[in-house]
Amino acid sequence: MNDAPPAPAPVTVLADQAAYAAAVQLAVDAAAAYYGDGTSPLDDDAYDRLVRGIEAYEADHPEQVLPDSPTGKVAGGAVSGDVPHTVPMLSLDNVFDAAGLERWAAGLERRLGREITAWSVEPKLDGLAISARYRRGRLVQLVTRGDGVAGEDVSHAMGTVVGLPDALTEPVTVEIRGEVMMTAAQFESACEKRRAHDGTTFSNPRSAAAGTLRAQDRAYTCELTFFGYGALPLPPGDASEPAQRLRTLPHSQIMDQVAAWGVATTAATPVAGIVAATVQEVQARIEQIAEARASLPFGIDGIVVKADLADDQNAAGFSSRAPRWAIAYKLPATEKITQLIAVEWNVGRTGIIAPRAVLKPVEIDGSVVSFATLHNAADIARRGLLLGDHVTVYKAGDIIPRVEAPVVHLRTGDEQPIAVPQVCPNCGDAIDTSQERWRCVRGRACRALASIVYAAGRDQLDVEGLAQNRVQQLLDAKFITDFADLFTLTREQLLSLERMGAANTDKLLAAIETVKTRPLSRVFCALGIRGTGRSMSRRIARHFGSMEAIMAADAEAIQAVDGMGTEKAKLMLEELAEVRPLIDKLIAAGVNMTEPGATTATAVADGDSSGDAAATALPLAGMSVVATGTMTGPLAELSRNQVNELIERAGGKASSSVSAKTALLVAGEKAGSKKTKAEDLGVRIITPDEFAAMVSDFL
């Protein structure tokens, strides 16, 4: 095992020998299901906690260790095979934080008696390890990991795995090792095929990939994806140089060779492997990969760190179950199994009727989750969900948790169908079911109060003195139907309201008049278009410069906005068409429809380079900036949203988290962990006063 122990991690505490024996049996059964068809009753995090609890109990009671214990065994000792591996396919030991990584690296360097100057850093893919054997460049056999010594022949899957060619670009005899998995798109397609076949669905991409890889008699075919992570020459080898020299190449060069032979690697993805010179550089890359995790089209559950040089690997050697020169840096679990207790049907500001899952509380990625999105009624039907189901719940980054699928093999027969509403849950009017996203026939008018309160909020139009009860009075009096009507209110109308005196009336009218001068970014945000919150509204406003340019844009032009994908652009076009009458009312009322300092999309399209030059001259051009802590000096009176607006007016990109991509941290009082992280990453840190001086022309 490693010289230095991994960082402490949560464990399942076992009180006595009976609890230990039960835990061993549960772990063995779960591992058999996990490595079999992927239908384990435990999620990854629960299984890891259980095994760590077994390890802890065995350390305290070595005389009670059971022969079936999963500790120290590849795949928990639950699987085997009849095809011997040419070289054992071992598991990896784990660390769970930066301190654990540093301890492991320091222990490895002590073992070698020298400093390691090249570390390979690459994603730990969430799939099934296999070896692909090529003879003279032709794919001849696929073998699973099994127990690490021998695996199962799954050659019947050849031809269904993207990234694993039938023939290499050179006639070499070689074994390519890697991970078979399903991308998000492949998983959705597989679920559709399974639903059409037997009405059920897969619980998650990994179980779908496991079942598909082994299936030989299905009536339908599901596509898989392969990413290579290593290669070695097959005995007795071949006469060609490329395969034989793999024994002495650094890992990074081996991966270059694998890609050159035409096998897919992660090189073309946002989480491509790199070589780092120091552990600090390794940690920085780990944070970059972790940050990209939520946006990847495939699953990862950690980062693999290896000594890159063959000499270091050979000198370090192996333990009974893992190489000493490699470690898996595990990321927090983003998927758990819990129970679906109920479904709530809520109506949003735009009239969209959205179901929300009420869950038995479960901890995911450091937070307790009690609710998750279900998208719409059609989505519930597609996933085949029932009340009382055990379900997989997925969360990544700051994305709202969502229910993936029912865990069908855990059903007891007590589950019940989910009732869908027949009328609008908010107002009782009819429901428009012509599209998958159901909507009240009254549209935004159904939730007019919520829409107007949102638009008048501090981070949108910031209408001082317009509280929710006042908006309700205006709606009840039929003086307004949407927030554009605020700009046509008369003094007489306001004075007629209960508890609305002359002073309050004049103050509110003055506040509304001031709001007319707000920048386009705030006006656009106030529209409440789905998928365009504060940050995206600022990007849209700065990109187009005017509401006229936004309304004239097509889907391609909208996609040119940073962070605006195909689906978001399509949705934005639909929403813009819907709120066109509202926008026209705002224009007629004299509300500002331009963004100060923006380079208009029209000027760029016409080939006017002056906009580009002006953008480049901005003090924060191209910089990712994070503001944290309490602002002081000239920034003291600004809200965090206003500080972010200031950053973007000065040409920067406001971000809420520190990463290796961060160019500048504005650290106010009590900056906390973000400042510490910036110091570790070598990010430039300045005070609010220094930042104010830097962007003084935009204050």
The Cα 523–Cα 543 span in angstroms is 15
Angle, alpha carbons 545-548-554 (nearest 5°): 95
Structure tokens at 342: 């109920």
Taking alpha carbons only, the member of 10, 16, 6 closest to residue 50 is 10
Residues forming a β-bridge with 227: 179
Cα–Cα distances in Å, from 328 out to 78, 120, 168? 21, 12, 29
Tokens 């992280």 sit at which residue? 677
Torsion (CA) 506, 510, 513, 519 in degrees, nearest 10? -150
Set 73, 124, 674, 675: catalytic member: 124
* Catalytic residue check, 670: no
Measured in degrees and rounded to the nearest 5, phi and psi for residue 138 equal: -105, 135
Q: At what angle do helices 279-292 and 673-681 cross, to 10 degrees?
A: 120
Q: DSSP string spanning 170-205?
A: S---EEEEEEEE--HHHHHHHHHHHHHHHS---SSH
Taking alpha carbons only, the member of 153, 203, 212, 149 closest to residue 180 is 212
For residue 418, give every residue at least 6 positions away whose Cβ sits within 8 Å of its Cβ, in sequence order, or none: 343, 355, 380, 385, 386, 387
For residue 599, give every residue at least 6 positions away whose Cβ sits within 8 Å of its Cβ, in sequence order, or none: 542, 545, 611, 612, 614, 615
For residue 446, give every residue at least 6 positions away whose Cβ sits within 8 Å of its Cβ, in sequence order, or none: 347, 351, 424, 426, 427, 429, 440
Strands of 321-441, DSSP E:
326-330, 335-347, 353-364, 367-373, 390-394, 402-406, 431-432, 439-440
Quote the distance between the C-alpha of residue 49 and its chain's center.
23
Cα–Cα distances in Å, from 439 out to 342, 383, 428, 454? 21, 21, 12, 19
Residues forming a β-bridge with 358: 342, 371
Buried b or exposed e, range 296-305, using 16+ CB within 10 angstroms: bebbbbbbbb
The Cα 403–Cα 398 span in angstroms is 15
The residue count for the chain: 699
Taking alpha carbons only, the member of 215, 191, 220, 221 closest to residue 205 is 191
**Strand, helix or coil for residue 342:** strand
Whether cis (ω within 30° of 0) applies to the bond prior to 84 is: no
CA atoms within 13 A on the CB side of 661: 15
Taking alpha carbons only, the member of 180, 174, 165 closest to residue 262 is 165
From the CB of residue 341, how many other CB atoms can be counted at a distance below 10 Å?
14
With 0-12 / 13-18 / 19 or more C-beta atoms within 10 angstroms meaning exposed / middle / buried, residue 16 is exposed
Residues labelled as active-site residues: 124
